[in-house]
Chain A
Amino acid sequence: MKTTTKATAFYNVFERKGGPHKETTHYCPGCGHGNVHKMIAEAMDDLGINDKTVFVSPVGCSVFGYYYFDCGNFQAAHGRAPAVATGIKRANPDSVVISYQGDGDLAAIGTAETLHAANRGENITVFFVNNAIYGMTGGQMAPTTLIEQKTATTPRGRVESEHGNPIKMAEIISTLPAATYVERVAIGNSKHIMKARKAIRKALKNQVENRGYSFVEILSVCPTGWKMDSPDARDWLTDQMIEAFPLGVYKDESSEREDGWYRDVKPFVPAELNKYFGVNAEADVAPVDLKKDLFCKFAGFGGQGILTMGLFLAQIGMRADHNVSWIPAYGPEMRGGTANCSVNVSNKRIGTPLVERPNVMVAMNLPSLEMFEKDVVDGGVILVDSGIVDKTPDTDRLDVVMIPATEIADEVGTPKVANVVMLGAMIAATDAYSLDFVSETLKVVVKKKNLIDMNLAALQRGYDFVKNGS
């Protein structure tokens, strides 16, 4: 196709195109892409959006859209243009993003991206050039190939029972509530082309006015793929394709959606981030001595607050300016009726966060005691909820504390604070931190502020049980 008068949205000379002929397109004679490109370029001119337009070329014959359009250009992977367009539009909601796709790209390999971009109501414009065949790869069946149509991969013609039916994308997309405007047009004759021009312009204008997702399916021709000359191809489009793919407006809520689909984003402002994350805030650290490193395994039933107990201890250690780590049971340890976590509190850099040989163990059910007692180092502290576990660990080898933590918690107000009773007992049994320090820290780390008093009472009771036996 020799181009004589061109829209300014086209380059004058197609420098990106290789070879000697930089004023003609790469399309075959009679191809429909030239018509569609021209209508888009003219609409861009009319709307004055050349600078802010970003044209996404897919894989297929229109892979080289960037040869021609004098605007920002992206080349995308096969079928992914709507996802790429989403990433572009969300990064700059003031850009005008065109996803220009063929039938294989949009309705086969990229069906998911197509439907979900529409379903999110991305404020983009999708031009779907449906020519019922794969052109670039050599005339294979497309998702929109007609019944009985012969292609390189349907040599006996498309058969419903074997290949399914031509897929009707405009109809499908029009069922999605977030889509604003869906129309199917054609380029079979000049009447078609007039309607197509109008639809293309409207679909772009909608985006400029932030009215949301617009989808224009354009029934086009592929004389090469169809093995026809150009006039026959136009006739076949008009006679056969339109019967399978009726033209018309399938959905139009454009007038109701002015500026409704502008998704604002803010640029990166370091000071705002620093404020948000409290980078310059005074750290709540009150360094105290740690007499002995704690390698803890806390275990019990799910729901007993075992993991939270570990989190409390780790945060106490952090506030005391010690090195800490917390990790929940993960992998093979998750089996066997025990929810558990490993906590390290150390003066030194912590190596493995997994506590293999604890020197402090809390067992709040029998399976936990049976699973982990043997791992506790000689002379280690083991605390057992004696109201739940009917077994005493090896008192010769270990420093054993039997404490009815859940019963005490009940007396305090709820069995849910049994973990904090246990924490108080653990603090007392190990002398790791003072009760005052732990109480002060709990006031900070307990998230529900109305539960602080009950937690402090539970902590005190556990502590007293070990220190005073009551």
Chain B
Amino acid sequence: MSRQFMKGNDAIVVGALQAGCRAYYGYPITPASEIAHAASLHFPALGGTFIQAESEVAAINMVYGTAGMGIRTMTASSSPGFSLKQEGMSYLAGAELPCVVVNIQRGGPGLGNIAPEQADYFQVVKGGGHGNYRLITLAPNCAQEMCDLTSKAFDLADKWRNPACILADGFIGQMMEPVEVPEAKEIPFDHSDWCVRGDAETHKNLVSSIVLEPEDLEAHNFKLHKKYLEIQESEVLFEDYKTEDADLVVVAYGITSRVVYSTIDQARELGLKVGLLRPITLWPFPSEKLAELAADGTKKFLSVELSTGQMIEDVKLAVNGKCPVELYGRCGGVVPGGEELIQRYEEIMNGKPISDGGVR
């Protein structure tokens, strides 16, 4: 196996190409630009397409064009750029086009800064564009997963005819780690029944999100809804580290899950029975697992995120009032340290209010 040392952002491009992605459309933005750099190097070298689009809006619509041809395609950006793509995301979801979109989150709102944050959770997981739709959302926390989950995102997108999102943060994008490049294999999906390839076989097909008659549009929405329910039932991924006997279950994804992971054994040495539940899919969210952990009402839960509290809403919905759910959030590029977190674990487990009210 080929093990290469690479940035998380570069690993995304490798994972995409190995999954059969043939066209990349993007616009420069820190801290996601390395993805475009790597794509501009590799896609043309392999007979694929790279276009630096005139805008994020154009990039996502180029994705719409290529995805509608039944060909694997992607775009990547960071928070402000991802906001600009929302119109296109809604059209892609409405027209049921498989593709992969990447958001390497940075600090907001507005221009914010270029440091990592996790404050686009609502935008990505709850909507962002108009209308009833969902994005399959994967949250890698290392360079290997940046590669592997990007490949997986293409499979999920094809399987469900739905856009899939890689939601990472500036740290996971900038960090370098060894990556085992996965083997490229034939794509086991055939889109001839709906895609438009510009050939005789598909020339009766239509790629569209317009459904004029109210009853028809309602039926379309119900069909999408049914699909989303099926995805929720079958595609949840998470990592469980010592939650079984934990008194405190910490929920974290991306860079914060790495920091939390480092604290679990340290906290246990101090007598604090802590575990980590890391959602790998943010949508569908591992609600069932959390509900199971909360069922007997004896545990406490803590959401650690680089926001003022977004994922915590899904944790609360899953826990459904059975156990207390607390928040510890940092923003603007500040990442909590391990010692800082362990102090919060102690406070929660001793029934004290979290310093600074949980959000500093």
Given A54-B196, A91-B66, A279-B183, A66-B25 contact (CB < 8 Å): no
Given A277-B181, A279-B181, A318-B3, A73-B48 contact (CB < 8 Å): no
Interface centre among A53, A75, A88, A318 (most CB of B within 10 A): A88
Residues of B within 8 A of A120 (CB): 51
The residues in B between 34 and 63 inclusive whose CB is less than 8 angstroms from any CB of A are 42, 45-49, 51, 53-55, 57-59, 61-63
Does any Cβ of A come within 8 Å of B320's Cβ? Answer: no
Does any Cβ of B come within 8 Å of A470's Cβ? Answer: no
A277 with B176: CB separation less than 8 A: no
B88 with A80: CB separation less than 8 A: yes
B23 with A90: CB separation less than 8 A: yes
User: Across the two chains, which residue of chain A brings its CB closest to B45?
Assistant: A276
Does any Cβ of B come within 8 Å of A326's Cβ? Answer: yes
Report Cα–Cα, A263/B212, bound state, in Å. 37
A356 with B203: CB separation less than 8 A: no
The residues in A between 262 and 311 inclusive whose CB is less than 8 angstroms from any CB of B are 263-268, 270-274, 276-281, 283, 285, 311
The residues in A between 35 and 93 inclusive whose CB is less than 8 angstroms from any CB of B are 50-54, 56, 63, 66, 70-77, 80, 83-92
Report Cα–Cα, A89/B23, bound state, in Å. 11
State the Cβ distance, B90 to closest chain A Cβ, in Å.
9
B334 with A50: CB separation less than 8 A: no
Checking A80, A92, A352 against B198 with a beta-carbon cut-off of 8 angstroms, the contacting residue is A92
User: Across the two chains, which residue of chain B brings its CB closest to A284?
Assistant: B3
- Give the size category of B's interface with A: 35 or more
Given A97-B198, A332-B334, A356-B337, A270-B184 contact (CB < 8 Å): yes
B339 with A73: CB separation less than 8 A: no
A75 with B208: CB separation less than 8 A: yes
Does any Cβ of A come within 8 Å of B197's Cβ? Answer: yes
Residues of B within 8 A of A272 (CB): 46
A330 with B2: CB separation less than 8 A: no
Does any Cβ of B come within 8 Å of A354's Cβ? Answer: yes
Does any Cβ of B come within 8 Å of A18's Cβ? Answer: yes
Checking A18, A84, A270, A278 against B64 with a beta-carbon cut-off of 8 angstroms, the contacting residue is A84
B68 with A77: CB separation less than 8 A: no
The residues in A between 311 and 370 inclusive whose CB is less than 8 angstroms from any CB of B are 311, 314-315, 318, 324-328, 330-332, 349-354, 356
State the Cβ distance, A293 to closest chain B Cβ, in Å.
12
B198 with A270: CB separation less than 8 A: no
Residues of B within 8 A of A318 (CB): 3, 5, 178
State the Cβ distance, B174 to closest chain A Cβ, in Å.
6
Interface centre among A66, A86, A349, A350 (most CB of B within 10 A): A86
Does any Cβ of B come within 8 Å of A96's Cβ? Answer: yes
B65 with A91: CB separation less than 8 A: yes
State the Cβ distance, A31 to closest chain B Cβ, in Å.
18
User: Across the two chains, which residue of chain B brings its CB closest to A66?
Assistant: B206
Report Cα–Cα, A66/B48, bound state, in Å. 29
Does any Cβ of A come within 8 Å of B286's Cβ? Answer: no
Does any Cβ of B come within 8 Å of A105's Cβ? Answer: no
A273 with B184: CB separation less than 8 A: yes
Residues of B within 8 A of A91 (CB): 22-23, 49, 65-66, 69, 71, 73
A88 with B198: CB separation less than 8 A: yes
Interface centre among A52, A265, A266, A332 (most CB of B within 10 A): A265
B177 with A73: CB separation less than 8 A: no
Does any Cβ of A come within 8 Å of B311's Cβ? Answer: no
> Which of B160-168, B221-229, B255-263, B350-358 interfaces with chain A?
B255-263
Beta-carbon contacts of B116-146 to A below 8 Å, as 1s and 0s? 1000000000000000000000000000000
> Which of B12-20, B230-238, B321-329 interfaces with chain A?
B12-20
Report Cα–Cα, A56/B164, bound state, in Å. 24
Does any Cβ of B come within 8 Å of A113's Cβ? Answer: yes
Report Cα–Cα, A275/B105, bound state, in Å. 33
Residues of A within 8 A of B205 (CB): 72-73
B200 with A51: CB separation less than 8 A: yes
Residues of B within 8 A of A73 (CB): 196, 205-208
Residue positions of B touching A, CB distance < 8 A: 1-5, 14, 17-18, 20, 22-23, 25, 42, 45-49, 51, 53-55, 57-59, 61-69, 71-73, 87-88, 91, 95, 115-116, 170-171, 174-178, 181-187, 196-200, 202-210, 212-213, 255, 258-263, 333-335, 337-339
Please name 14 pairs of A and B residues whose Cβ atoms are closer than 8 Å in the assembled complex, sorted by A: A70-B204, A72-B202, A73-B207, A74-B65, A80-B58, A87-B23, A87-B61, A265-B23, A273-B46, A314-B176, A325-B175, A351-B258, A351-B262, A351-B263
Other 18 A-B pairs with CB < 8 A, given A86-B58, A265-B47, A326-B177: A52-B203, A53-B198, A73-B208, A76-B64, A87-B62, A88-B198, A90-B23, A91-B69, A263-B49, A274-B184, A279-B182, A324-B178, A325-B177, A326-B175, A332-B334, A351-B260, A352-B338, A353-B258
Residue positions of A touching B, CB distance < 8 A: 16, 18, 50-54, 56, 63, 66, 70-77, 80, 83-92, 94-97, 112-113, 115-116, 120, 263-268, 270-274, 276-281, 283, 285, 311, 314-315, 318, 324-328, 330-332, 349-354, 356
Of all A-B residue pairs in the complex, the 9 with the closest CB atoms, nearest first, are A87-B65, A95-B198, A266-B47, A351-B262, A72-B196, A83-B61, A331-B333, A75-B208, A87-B62
